[in-house]
Amino acid sequence: MTINNELVKSMKIYAEENNVPIMSDEGISYLTAFCMKNHIKNILEIGTAIGYSSILMAYTDDKVNVTTIERDEKRYLEAIKNVKRAKLEDRIELIYNDALDVKIEGEFDLIFIDAAKAQNIKFFEKYKKNLSKNGVIITDNMKFHGLIDKKEEEIESRNLRQLVRKIKEYKRYLDNNKEFETIYKNIGDGLAISIRKRG
Ligand code: SAM
């Protein structure tokens, strides 16, 4: 399937103009290459925003199916429009709900966590049962725009300090996880790639 470059460009402009956080160019290039290299076919995404990463992942192969969850109505409605424009309605299922409330059936070979950063542990714990045997969980924003490497006192906003603490807590959770092994990629805003430990 050929990429609709006009659509991709217009989604990036919309995101910029409306302050919608979408994956960085570097991050999405890595993610889509990862999907192709690992023959990823079934994807669960937590955090659709306007459908940008869902659409680009679906473009990696005609057999890719994406289920994606968004709790913000305006973004969800925008994602519906974009998925229609991309002619991917039959391969991208958009769910309007809080990912912590919705029940998702089935198994996925990639679970992409890109929603409220403070909830990452909860998303991971809730959705690991939906991961196929050799599946991968990828989490974005592990660097949190460079704030992770800053001293706490250098971060002025209390909210941001709390979020940074939460991301560090998530990293400790991944590092000490008995079931999963995680590697970190210094790509885009920082990716964590978690796979089940063997044996
Ligand atoms: N993956 C998108 C992309 O790169 O095109 C970007 C997603 S954006 C970083 C995160 C989105 O997650 C926001 O639109 C936010 O409304 C949504 N979100 C945050 N917490 C959520 C939750 N608990 N359930 C569903 N969506 C959530």
pLDDT at 198 over 90: no
Of 69, 195, 64, give the one whose Cα is nearest residue 132.
195
Of 114, 119, 116, 134, give the one whose Cα is nearest residue 44.
114
Look at residue 150 in the predicted model and tell me its pLDDT.
83
More confident residue, 158 or 136: 136
Is the Cβ atom of 167 under 6 angstroms away from ligand 1?
A: no
- Cα–ligand 1 centroid distance for 22 (angstroms): 9
pTM above 0.95, yes or no: yes
User: pLDDT per residue over 84-108, tens digit each?
Assistant: 999 999 999 999 999 999 999 999 9
Helix (H, G, I), strand (E, B) or coil at 3: coil
Atom of ligand 1 nearest to the CA of 72: 16
- Identify the band that residue 2 occupies on the pLDDT scale cut at 50, 70 and 90: confident
Domain ranges of the chain: 5-196
Look at residue 80 in the predicted model and tell me its pLDDT.
98
Whole-angstrom distance, CA of residue 53 vs CA of residue 145: 18
pLDDT at 199 over 80: no
Look at residue 145 in the predicted model and tell me its pLDDT.
85
Residue 91's alpha-carbon distances to 32, 77, 87, 190, in angstroms, are 16, 17, 9, 28
Region 72-82 average pLDDT: 98
Whole-angstrom distance, CA of residue 156 vs CA of residue 167: 17
109 phi and psi angles, rounded to 5 deg: -90, -10
User: pLDDT per residue over 55-70, tens digit each?
Assistant: 999 999 999 999 999 9
Is the Cβ atom of 120 under 6 angstroms away from ligand 1?
A: no
Of 67, 101, 82, 100, give the one whose Cα is nearest residue 7.
82
Burial class (CB within 10 angstroms; exposed 0-12, middle 13-18, buried 19+) of 105: exposed
Cβ atoms of 137 and 113 within 8 Å: the answer is yes
Whole-angstrom distance, CA of residue 57 vs CA of residue 30: 11
- What is the dotted CATH code of the domain comprising 5-196? 3.40.50.150
Residue type, 122: K
Residue nearest atom 9 of ligand 1, based on CA coordinates = 21
